[in-house]
Structure 1
Amino acid sequence: WGEWFRELRAAPGYGLTPYEAARFTLAASFPRMVVDMAKRMSGRSVYRLAQFSTLRPEVAESASYKAHLDAIGFDPTYQSQKRVRDVTAIILRRLDVHGLEQKGQLGAYGIDARDPTADRRLVDFVMNIPTHLFMHRGVKKRLYQEAFGERLPPVLFTRRPKGQQAADWRPRLRAAMPRIQEELDLARRAEGVAELIDLPRLDAALAVNVTDGPSSTQVRDSHRLRLLRALSVAHFMRKTDRRNSAGTEGSAASGLE
């Protein structure tokens, strides 16, 4: 507790108020309902997997799907973790799944990427990094500074703004609408797609005209996340459908991700 109070006093160094730092670190110790209520009262979003997924409700709520999420260590409520080791474990699991995606990149484009989770030595190392190397007396990105402080300019350790990936997604989405509609029409005929994906929800998203300029979180979730991800899954299922004898080359969704 003494170390915790010292870090709270140093919170401005991380760009946080002591209250924000306390909220982040204590959230994992409270019931999810209490944390969600506090988020809503402070105007913050309460994230759930349904915001990013277009699975049919009966699939997302099924016992088999929940058992699958438990088996891979995925929390669909995005709860805070009490220990750094728990956060590290989540990141390693995501890297492991990402490694499977890289095999698709290798097959499609001939570009391979190493899977860091395949090296037991690296896994053991990152799971045992002391907490004070991440946060210590208000020093931001301390682990990076310890490793690269003499090699990189100081501004890299203090900057907060980040650019948006695929900032031109709206005009690209509008230009690809004919291909996206074609992909959705093909998906309707693919085996298993309608049983897994909420196709009427995708139709509703396509009916919304996405304009340029700042987009709301709702538009981002419905188009950049739910629509394109669902179409990517549907495209894969269509290509692996044993009845598949024709189809378009490539996926409109994969070109926009």
Structure 2
Amino acid sequence: RAPRAPKGPRVLREPPRRGEGSPRKLGRLLLVLILLLMAAAIAYAVIFMPKADQGQDNGAPAPTNSAAPPAASGEPEPSGSADGSDGPGSQQPQTSRSAAALAPGYTLRKDAEGFEVGVPKDWQRSPANADRQIRYGSDGFTLLVVPGRDTVKSGGSDPLDYQRDKEPELQPFRDSSWSSSSGLRRVDVGRQAMAEGQFTWQESGGREVFVRNLAMIVDGRYHVIQVIGPENDRDRVTEIYEQAIASYRVAG
């Protein structure tokens, strides 16, 4: 047999020193303690924290009891649908407001022709003419009211068609060589049918006017509210118109 190669010298291994694994164990212990403290805090909050009042609905604000009327928008608010069982005009205009809702400088006038309407305080009333037109006015502005002269039978059941083609108060618009219109629309509020529009035309004396017009059916008859003023003062015309339609009410 061949002789074996001599073995190298043995390397003596030092035994592990005590305490080398202690930092890792300490870190694990601290992590466990932190988790236990967090769990205890959550359990305390769930058990001992006061619960929300039983009367509250998931933090929703409590309802208020304010009885203040909504601000007059100047335009009727259309409803989702009209009740087809009754004809239009079976109710009083739903654009009516109490006198308290009128803007400063306006007053509620109870007219002998069977209606009430808000007008500027210093305006004068003219007696009804042969066409049953009642006028309030001052300083080049006029509020014209026609309380139920034309019937649905004669004027048709669509207030938009009546306003466009048949309403006598808009005949100057149809006859004028200088005229325009905008915002023509029908509005149904509940069972109240109405139409409104904005118009301009030139009067016989050459004055250019801006006109806001509302025609609505009440108890089978057309009621017209119209405000006329200088074409270059549209804001004032609109203000008077909004106060008028917000306060108009048929008596009885």
Q: Which has the larger radius of gyration?
A: 2
Greater strand share, structure number: 2
What TM-score bracket applies, with the shorter chain setting the length? under 0.3
Q: TM-score, normalised by structure 1?
A: 0.21
Greater helix share, structure number: 1
